[in-house]
C-alpha cells in the first residue's frame, strides 16, 4: 500500500466532512492505478476524508479488494452490477457527510485539491458546487483538461455546449443541495456531461476555480476513443431534447446530432464500410443543420 500523508494521519480522529467516491472494477490490471488514486486523496486534504470505494461487477481481483479493505481509512462497498453509472448512483446514496466528490480509479487528485475546493465553497455560501480545471496526461505530455471555465457561473447550460465543465474528478458538491436523484438514470459513457446538464436544468449555482486540482491519465484503450463512446452522444442529445430547453439550446443540440452522425460517416468510410458511411451521412442530413455536410456526398461517391 502507499504511505499516508502526515496531515492525514494527524486528522484520523476528526469526523470527516467530505466523502470521496471511487468507482472501480478492481481488476488486477487496475490495482496500481486504484492504489495511486486512493493515495492521492489522502494527500488532497489536510483533514480526514471518508474514502468510499465502490467495486462494481464480478471481474474484481480478490487480492486487490482485500488490499483496499485493509486500509483503515477506506470503506469498500461491492455491487453485483458492473456499471459505472450505477456505481456513481450507489456511492452518492451512501454519502452522509456535508460534501462529496468523485475520482476514477485511474486518475489522481493533485496535492491540496480538496482543501482548495472547500475554501472555494466556503467563500461562496450560495454556491451548490464548485468545479475546477485539471490536467490530462497521455504518458508523455500534460495538457489542460478542460476549456477555460469563464462564463460557467453565469450560464451553466449555455457554457456546457462550449465544452463540458464537469470532469469526473473536477467537482465538490454540497450534499444538502445536490440530491441523490441527480445521479440516477445516468447515460453511460457521457455520465458527467449528463450530470452537468441536470445540474444546469435545476438551476444549481456553480462556483468556479479555474485551477488544476486533478490529473486524468489517458490510455490507448480508454472509453473516450471507442465507437460506443461516440454513439453514446446520440442518445445523450436525444435525451436532452426531451427537456424544456430554450430554442437556441434546442438548435445547438440538433446541430450536435448532425455532427456526431457526420463524424461516424467519416470513420466508417475510412474503414472501408461504404454502406455504413452512407447511412450515417444520410442521418447527418435529416435536419437543416446537416446541410453543411452535403459536400461529403461527393467523397462518398468518388472515393475508391
- Other CB atoms within a 10 A radius of the CB of residue 132 amount to 27
CA distance 196 to 183: 10
For 66, the grid coordinates are: 482485500
Q: What pairing do the DSSP bridges indicate for beta strands 171-174 and 99-102? A: antiparallel
Is residue 6 over pLDDT 70?
Answer: no
Contact 293/258 with Cβ under 8 angstroms?
Answer: yes
Q: CA-CA distances (angstroms) from residue 26 to 52, 82, 89, 134, 170?
A: 13, 11, 18, 24, 22
Is residue 221 over pLDDT 60?
Answer: no
Is residue 7 over pLDDT 50?
Answer: no
Is residue 10 over pLDDT 60?
Answer: no
* Range list of H helices, the chain: 6-10, 31-42, 62-69, 84-93, 113-123, 156-160, 191-201, 227-240, 247-270, 274-284, 296-302
If you average pLDDT over residues 221-234, what whole number do you get? Answer: 79
Enter the DSSP assignment of 5: P
Percent of the chain with pLDDT over 90: 88
Is residue 132 over pLDDT 60?
Answer: yes
Contact 227/266 with Cβ under 8 angstroms?
Answer: no
Is residue 43 over pLDDT 90?
Answer: yes
Where on the phi/psi map is residue 25: left (φ > 0), alpha (ψ -120 to 50), or beta? alpha
CA distance 295 to 235: 26
Share the mean pLDDT of the chain: 93
If you average pLDDT over residues 155-165, what whole number do you get? Answer: 96
Instruction: Tell which residue, 282, 151, 143, 265, has the closest CA to residue 208.
Output: 151
Instruction: Tell which residue, 44, 261, 260, has the closest CA to residue 36.
Output: 44
Contact 134/117 with Cβ under 8 angstroms?
Answer: no
Residue ranges of domains in the chain, CATH in brackets: 6-222 (3.90.550.10), 226-302 (no CATH)
Using one digit for the tens of pLDDT, what is the confidence trace for 77-129?
A: 999 999 999 999 999 999 999 999 999 999 999 999 999 999 999 999 999 99
For 249, the grid coordinates are: 439550446
Between 67-81, 210-224, 272-286, the lowest mean confidence (pLDDT) is in 210-224
pLDDT confidence band for 212 (50 / 70 / 90): very high
If you average pLDDT over residues 139-162, what whole number do you get? Answer: 95
Locus of grid cell 468545479: 131
Amino acid at each position: 500500500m502507499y504511505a499516508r500523508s502526515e496531515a492525514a494521519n494527524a486528522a484520523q480522529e476528526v469526523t470527516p466532512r467530505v466523502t470521496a467516491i471511487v468507482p472501480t472494477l478492481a481488476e488486477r490490471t487496475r490495482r496500481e492505478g486504484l492504489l495511486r488514486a486512493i493515495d492521492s486523496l489522502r494527500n488532497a486534504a489536510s483533514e480526514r476524508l471518508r474514502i468510499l470505494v465502490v467495486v462494481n461487477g464480478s471481474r474484481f481481483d480478490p487480492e486487490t479488494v482485500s488490499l483496499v479493505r485493509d486500509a483503515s481509512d477506506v470503506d469498500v462497498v461491492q455491487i453485483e452490477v458492473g456499471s459505472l453509472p450505477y456505481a456513481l448512483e450507489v456511492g452518492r446514496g451512501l454519502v452522509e457527510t456535508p460534501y462529496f466528490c468523485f475520482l476514477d480509479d485511474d486518475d489522481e487528485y493533485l496535492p491540496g485539491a480538496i482543501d482548495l475546493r472547500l475554501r472555494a465553497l466556503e467563500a461562496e455560501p450560495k454556491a451548490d458546487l464548485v468545479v475546477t480545471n485539471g490536467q490530462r496526461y497521455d504518458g508523455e505530455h500534460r495538457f489542460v483538461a478542460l476549456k477555460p471555465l469563464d462564463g460557467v457561473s453565469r450560464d451553466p447550460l449555455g457554457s456546457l455546449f462550449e465544452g463540458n465543465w464537469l470532469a469526473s474528478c473536477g467537482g465538490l458538491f454540497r450534499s444538502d443541495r445536490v440530491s441523490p436523484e441527480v445521479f440516477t438514470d445516468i447515460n453511460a459513457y457521457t455520465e458527467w456531461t449528463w450530470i452537468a446538464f441536470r445540474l444546469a436544468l435545476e438551476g444549481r449555482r456553480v462556483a468556479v476555480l479555474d485551477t488544476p486540482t486533478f490529473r486524468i491519465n489517458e490510455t490507448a484503450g480508454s472509453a473516450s476513443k471507442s465507437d460506443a463512446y461516440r454513439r453514446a452522444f446520440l442518445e445523450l442529445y436525444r435525451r436532452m431534447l426531451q427537456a424544456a430547453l430554450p430554442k437556441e439550446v434546442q438548435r445547438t443540440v440538433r446541430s450536435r446530432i448532425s455532427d456526431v452522425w457526420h463524424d461516424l460517416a467519416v470513420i466508417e468510410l475510412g474503414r472501408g464500410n461504404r454502406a455504413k458511411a452512407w447511412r450515417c451521412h444520410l442521418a447527418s442530413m435529416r435536419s437543416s443543420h446537416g446541410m453543411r455536410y452535403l459536400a461529403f456526398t461527393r467523397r462518398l461517391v468518388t472515393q475508391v
